[in-house]
Structure 1
Amino acid sequence: IVNTHPEITQVFSFVGGFGGSGVSSGMMFITLVPPSERKMDQEEFSSVLRRELNAVPGLRAVIQDTSQQGLTAQRGFPIEFSVRGADWGELVPLSQKLMDALVQSGTVVDLDSDYRVGMPELRVTPDRAVCADVGVSVDDVATTINALVGGIRVGKYSSGGRRLDVRVKLMAAQRSRPEDIARLRVRARNGELVPLSSLVVFEEHAALQAITRRDRERAISIYSNVAPGHSQGEVLRLIEELGDDLPVGNRVVLGGSSMAFRESMSSLFFAMGLGILIAYMILGSQFNSFKDPVTIITILPLSVAGAAFALLLAGQSLNIFSMIGLLLLMGIVKKNSIILVDYANAFKEKGFAAREAMEKAGPIRLRPILMTATATFMAALPPALGLGSGAEIRMPMAIAVIGGLLLSTLLSLIVIPAFYVVSDRLVGKKKKAEVPESPVSSGARA
């Protein structure tokens, strides 16, 4: 199936034993041809390959973007969380219930967990009351099963300087099924051979490969990718809602890339707020005014709106890379406002009113504003179009910059002049209200 796709240029695969996953699993590393040589992008190709592989009976395929690996200590999926509790018997059905709810929501794909069931095993539990009645001890039952199934050493054999143990046990065909074990007999104290099936209870169980723990708690970790058309934040909110309905003593803990996403988003919002504050302080010191920095920063919400609208049209989510684009955008769009306000202040110092000063500054500064916006737009256009390798990562950042730049450039020629004139009028009225009226002399009143 994999080799039939012309989009693939290299495949490296191995089967069994990787990361403790057992012999019934394998892994394939796939390298795609450059984006210019294929019709589908990486996300579209992953969807096609996922659908074809999961259509094979008995096969469950999970596709992961290798660029996400190494960002966290876990597997590197965009969605990673663990179900934790004290009772392992409760964790298994609870984790499966959460996975079923996520599948039904349609917000995730490639859902997987680290819970692995090993080979089936036969559990033999002695009935102590029956054993006591017939005169058979539990140790006799264990010794008999161990000797006939596992083997017991009865001697040694030396050959060519090598010493080998001689072990006696049943033939493989005599101990391969539960019915074979049930036909064994145990010698009682009176010398009678008692059927093992009358002394014990046989139960078949799937053996666990491992009982995993996170922060000293028993935990089952669940991983997935975000389905197309949905965002990582949307899936994380759904997981937290499902975790609130768990029984007492069990909880959902986000981890890996999910926690890194939350922490990064919080840090980015803090960086944006801090950047706006520092920009206001610097502009205030440069313009020697509290009013002009506010006029300049007014363009920032408009640029964010343009970036959000562009991401929506392009089908991109608000992720770490688009947030970086917003940070870049804030530093770019302020230049247009600074150019306009600074030149208008120069005309005001010559005696022009605020409106006249802005009417003179606008046409003169239109050309440098358009030149700056055009240069930035042309620089962001190639990654926005998905040109070059790794464009899937740079695309959200470039789209956010272009969308915010276009809208802010158009509106800065309208909003900034209007705000500049209105704020000047408000400050002027306030100054007039603070000037006290000159007292009239008593002689003049007479």
Structure 2
Amino acid sequence: MKLPEIGVKRPVATVMLFVAIIMLGLVSLKMLPLDIMPEMEFPSITIITIYPGASANEVEEQVTKPLETILSAAEHLSEIKSTSKENVSFIQLSYSWGSDVTSAANNARDLIELTKTKLPQAAHQPIIYKINSSMMPVLAYAVNAGVNYNGIENIVEEDIATVLRKVDGVGTVVYLGQPEREIKVSVNPQRLSAYGLSATQISTMLKADNISVPAGNINMGVYDFSVRVPGKFETVEEIGNTVLKAFNGQVIRLKDVAKVEDTFMEKEAFARNRTGEGVALMIQKQSGSNTVAVVNAVRAKMAEIQKTLPSDIQVHEIISTDEVVTQSVNNLTSSIWYALVFVTLVVLMFLREWKSSLIIFITMPVSLISAFIAMYAMGYTINIFSLMALVIAIGMVVDNAIVVLENITQHIEKGSKPKQAAIFGALEMGMAIAASTATTLVVFLPMLFMGGIVGIMFKQLAILTSVCLIVSLFTALTLTPMLSSKLLKEAPRNGKKQHRSKFYAASEKVFTKIENGYKLLLGWVVFHKSLTIVIAFAVFVLTMIVGKNIGTDYIPDFDAGTVSVVFETEVGTSARQTDSISQQILQIMLEDIPEIANEAAVSIAGQTKTGALTTVGFKEGKNVGTVLCHLTPPDKRDRTAAEIAGAIRDRVESIPQIEKCRVQGGSALAAAVTGNKRPIEIIVSGNDFNQLNAVASDLQEKMQAEKAFTDVATTVDPGKLEVQVIVDKEKASQMALNTAMVGMQVRQNLYGAESGDFSEDGNDYGIVVQYAPEHRNEVNKLKEMQVSNLLGQQIPLSAIADIVESLGPLEIQRQSQQRYVKTTADLNGVSLGEATKTAQEIIDNTEIPDGISVEIGGQVNDQKSSFSSLFLIFFLGIALVYMVMAAQFESMKDPFIILFAIPFTLVGVILAFFVTGITLSVTTFIGLIMLVGIVVNNGIVLVDYTNMLRKRNYPLRDAVMEAGRSRLRPVLMTSLTTILGMLPMAVSNGMGREMYAPLGITIIGGLLVSTLVTLLLVPAMYTSLYHRTLAKDRTTARLKKQHQAENKKSLE
């Protein structure tokens, strides 16, 4: 039996099947996690290596370059970038899309092991981070207490962070700004010299005295005793009493030559909120976890934790992403419900019978709910793109059911019994609706193979929309016939008229008038087919000319209610001074932005020792600060986040200490999606650092003069004052010294060295030995420094080395193992396409020295790559649609007639762009591709019915006219269901609308014009092409007849 027969003849089994689908769909829905975007794992890993106390040059030479050399052999590597800064090296490895990132990370780890011996001893083990969307914090807290609150670091770690890490779904907990306790041994070099000691010797002695040694066992008959030699320091006073040596009959203790303090490390990272300085605590979720569930679980656990904390410790929530997720999801969910109502009203308006409308209404949820099963099976989340698929599908899933139901109704009106009509009506339309569904599906097929971030985002949309359409086809061939056989009544016999309501009669008159008016217009079009085609072509060409002025963008800006300021001060500025500037900016935000939600604002300044800020998407450095605030939802404020950012820009930029500044309004998530790339990034590469800086600075000056750009900055490094100790190797050798000995002792004296740990209450605190500040913070003091030689003698540093002051880079960037600098900018009210043209003109008018290369990067490159793929998919989709229709019609000509409507969708799309002010972006391009599969369906209905009438010996013109008249209602009905299904999404003004509204606007604009083209231009094209064919056939027949007559005459 075929599907319609099974559905009609086995109604109970059919009902059970669809009830099972609904049940499984609802269970799947309950288990699906919520998120704002699909889970994204970028084909990239970051390797962070800490080298304490090293300059940027030293980090580059001793850490970055050796690692780059070995990592360049990594498999499937497409690009290698690095940044060398004071104390830390960052290396980013980018792979081709589709690469296994876990395998790539393991491969990189193996390669690093091969070069570990080449790295400095003081360098820490390189740490590998895989980059994915889960790295962005889902929640952040500020923990406030008194300045240098004793034990705050232990409370944050043990009482808060450790507890939160155990919460289901939490990945990592990163915190910064906490005071870190240490035992500082501040050495007096004069006293050391007087007693013939060095800081290095003190470190060695402290390690030797601060140790517990297991000494073995003693066996005494049946007893076994373990022996140990305990020697760990138990009090800070005990450290100061450590015996160093005997001198002239006198015992010299540590406290005689140094000051031993139980204090805090010098802070290099600061966090602050409206309450004051504190500790910033950022929570990342595990990959695949439910963002909203994780945030709620953390909030609940934090509420419990706060009850156990000391009363003078306050915890404030400063960043959360659950509101963005829930509001975006709720907005699209509302769009789905509105779309269901609109589509139902359209169906009711055209069918005007509640039973027929009920059949259509029942089939809709089944198709949509089935998508949840697919989402759960494929590990998807409920996010903007999966919900966009449902909104798009609502208006399309009813089309097959409408076509089948209409055919069944016609059979009933012709006298068939409902059961027979249901089977035959569905069977007759089976191939037609299968082909119609296939034309839409084949458009989505190429999207499945699209790589890059765009492929990740829109693949879910393509798959889920396809699932809904396939289920709708199955539903139309099983559930719709079954319901029709049960709900529809047999037509009256014996000449009795079927009873119709007054509404039906009144509305039928309206529809009849519309049909008659359309028939008159169609008659004129068919009669003036050539003129119609010429006018249409002229409109198309004119629209394309005007369309050249439409701007292009990459991914639409997403107003998720975040305003951020990232700034840099003069090179060499301390982290504490940078923090004071960030405090000023924080105050500006609190004063000038009344839209801040619950005063949720935070500032972060300085750098962490482990690069922790970089791993959560923040820029770091002693002279770098970030200030951000969270706003109320978009529908509850009059200004966009971008407008608010623009309003505070002047006050922020007027702060004299700020040298570089970027003020943004939008979403940190959008920045993550674009890889934190700025819209315009001009990359200047070469080997001559002076030339690189000169070109980049010249480009910066020219870009600042253009109104198209804002927050123009460059990575040109003015350099940081540094002091170099140039060892005279010959003199050093004569003094029983070498460069390594000198370097290690100078490092020990200035930077300090950890000399064991002091344990208290189960916690370990470092013991750091270094010169006291008053003996190490002046260049002259460095010249007076003494170092120990192999004989234990104290040698003045000035006797074996020259002390030279010079400039050294603060940050060194490399790409493909070559240095480069960047000039970057944001856009000031122009599209990315316009800005790119302006930037290229600036480059063309700039003198570029030999050996220096300049190229535009940033989001521009990603846009070009994505548009290139989308153009290919667009034309591939047209080809596939043509093939499906050619197979259906067994004709090469009919599909061409139908495809004639596709170019005219561009007319509607361009008009929609002009009316709404949107640009051609990745989102609108996807809508354009989808239109290819949608707009041909109405053409298929018209051409198929016209062919059928011609087979019944209708004259060409009559067949075209009758097909247009009789198919007008189905065409209008299917178009309106799709348009009104998209309307709530297109007009939404809630959170996340920037991502989905342009898609709805594009499809609505294209479908409105293409429907008109289908109803008028397709019949004109059909008549024109087949009129010539008929004329040719008549000529051929006439010539054949004449030839036969001539042959007959010649035979006579």
TM-score scaled by length of structure 1: 0.77
Aligned runs of 1:5-404 on 2, under 5 Å? 5-9=593-597, 10-17=600-607, 19=614, 21-59=620-658, 60-63=661-664, 65-71=667-673, 74-121=675-722, 205=807, 207-228=808-829, 230-244=830-844, 245=846, 246-404=848-1006
State the secondary structure of the residue aligned to 2:920: coil
Mapped contact 1:299–1:334 kept (Cα < 8 A): yes
State the secondary structure of the residue aligned to 2:991: coil
- Specify the code of the residue in structure 1 equivalent to 2:839: I
For residues 747 and 606 of structure 2, the distance between their equivalents in structure 1, rounded to whole angstroms, comes to 29
Mapped contact 1:306–1:404 kept (Cα < 8 A): yes
For residues 167 and 52 of structure 1, the distance between their equivalents in structure 2, rounded to whole angstroms, comes to 41
Deviations along 1:41-79, one digit per CA (max 9) or x if unpaired, are 34333333434533444443332642333335x523333
| Cα offset, 1:242, TM superposition | 4.1
Mapped contact 1:11–1:29 kept (Cα < 8 A): yes
Q: Is residue 417 from structure 1 mapped to residue 995 from structure 2 by the alignment?
A: no
For residues 969 and 906 of structure 2, the distance between their equivalents in structure 1, rounded to whole angstroms, comes to 24
Q: What percent of counterpart residues are identical?
A: 29
For residues 944 and 912 of structure 2, the distance between their equivalents in structure 1, rounded to whole angstroms, comes to 30
State the secondary structure of the residue aligned to 2:622: coil
Bigger drift between 343-352 and 1-10 goes to 1-10
Change (3 A) 1:47 1:398: farther
Hey, what does 1:406 align to over in structure 2?
1008
For residues 827 and 1035 of structure 2, the distance between their equivalents in structure 1, rounded to whole angstroms, comes to 59
Change (3 A) 1:291 1:51: farther
For residues 628 and 702 of structure 2, the distance between their equivalents in structure 1, rounded to whole angstroms, comes to 30
For residues 1008 and 687 of structure 2, the distance between their equivalents in structure 1, rounded to whole angstroms, comes to 55
| Cα offset, 1:377, TM superposition | 1.9
- Specify the code of the residue in structure 2 equivalent to 1:441: N
Bigger drift between 324-333 and 218-227 goes to 218-227
Mapped contact 1:333–1:409 kept (Cα < 8 A): yes
Change (3 A) 1:310 1:100: farther
For residues 356 and 151 of structure 1, the distance between their equivalents in structure 2, rounded to whole angstroms, comes to 97
Change (3 A) 1:396 1:49: farther
Hey, what does 1:441 align to over in structure 2?
1047
Mapped contact 1:36–1:388 kept (Cα < 8 A): yes
For residues 906 and 636 of structure 2, the distance between their equivalents in structure 1, rounded to whole angstroms, comes to 34
For residues 166 and 400 of structure 1, the distance between their equivalents in structure 2, rounded to whole angstroms, comes to 69
Deviations along 1:370-425, one digit per CA (max 9) or x if unpaired, are 22222222222233224332111112222211211222222322211111111111
- Specify the code of the residue in structure 2 equivalent to 1:2: M
Deviations along 1:195-229, one digit per CA (max 9) or x if unpaired, are x9xxx999875x4212211111211134333331x
Bigger drift between 249-258 and 359-368 goes to 249-258
State the secondary structure of the residue aligned to 1:317: coil
| Cα offset, 1:278, TM superposition | 0.5
Q: Is residue 2 from structure 1 mapped to residue 589 from structure 2 by the alignment?
A: yes
| Cα offset, 1:322, TM superposition | 0.9
Bigger drift between 240-249 and 343-352 goes to 240-249
For residues 773 and 678 of structure 2, the distance between their equivalents in structure 1, rounded to whole angstroms, comes to 51
For residues 216 and 151 of structure 1, the distance between their equivalents in structure 2, rounded to whole angstroms, comes to 29
Deviations along 1:87-140, one digit per CA (max 9) or x if unpaired, are 111111211222233333322323334444454457899xxxxxxxxxx9xx9x
For residues 381 and 12 of structure 1, the distance between their equivalents in structure 2, rounded to whole angstroms, comes to 38
TM-score scaled by length of structure 2: 0.35
Bigger drift between 273-282 and 339-348 goes to 339-348
Which of 424, 428, 432 is the matching residue for 2:1030? Answer: 428
Hey, what does 1:189 align to over in structure 2?
none
Bigger drift between 352-361 and 425-434 goes to 425-434
For residues 805 and 880 of structure 2, the distance between their equivalents in structure 1, rounded to whole angstroms, comes to 70
Mapped contact 1:354–1:420 kept (Cα < 8 A): no
| Cα offset, 1:298, TM superposition | 0.9
Structure 1: gaps spanning 5 or more residues: 126-135, 154-161, 182-195
State the secondary structure of the residue aligned to 1:70: helix
Change (3 A) 1:269 1:89: same
| Cα offset, 1:433, TM superposition | 5.3
| Cα offset, 1:293, TM superposition | 0.6
Bigger drift between 43-52 and 340-349 goes to 43-52
Change (3 A) 1:7 1:222: same
| Cα offset, 1:281, TM superposition | 0.7
For residues 55 and 351 of structure 1, the distance between their equivalents in structure 2, rounded to whole angstroms, comes to 82
State the secondary structure of the residue aligned to 1:389: coil
State the secondary structure of the residue aligned to 1:82: strand
Hey, what does 2:424 align to over in structure 1?
none
For residues 83 and 44 of structure 1, the distance between their equivalents in structure 2, rounded to whole angstroms, comes to 32
- Specify the code of the residue in structure 1 equivalent to 2:647: V
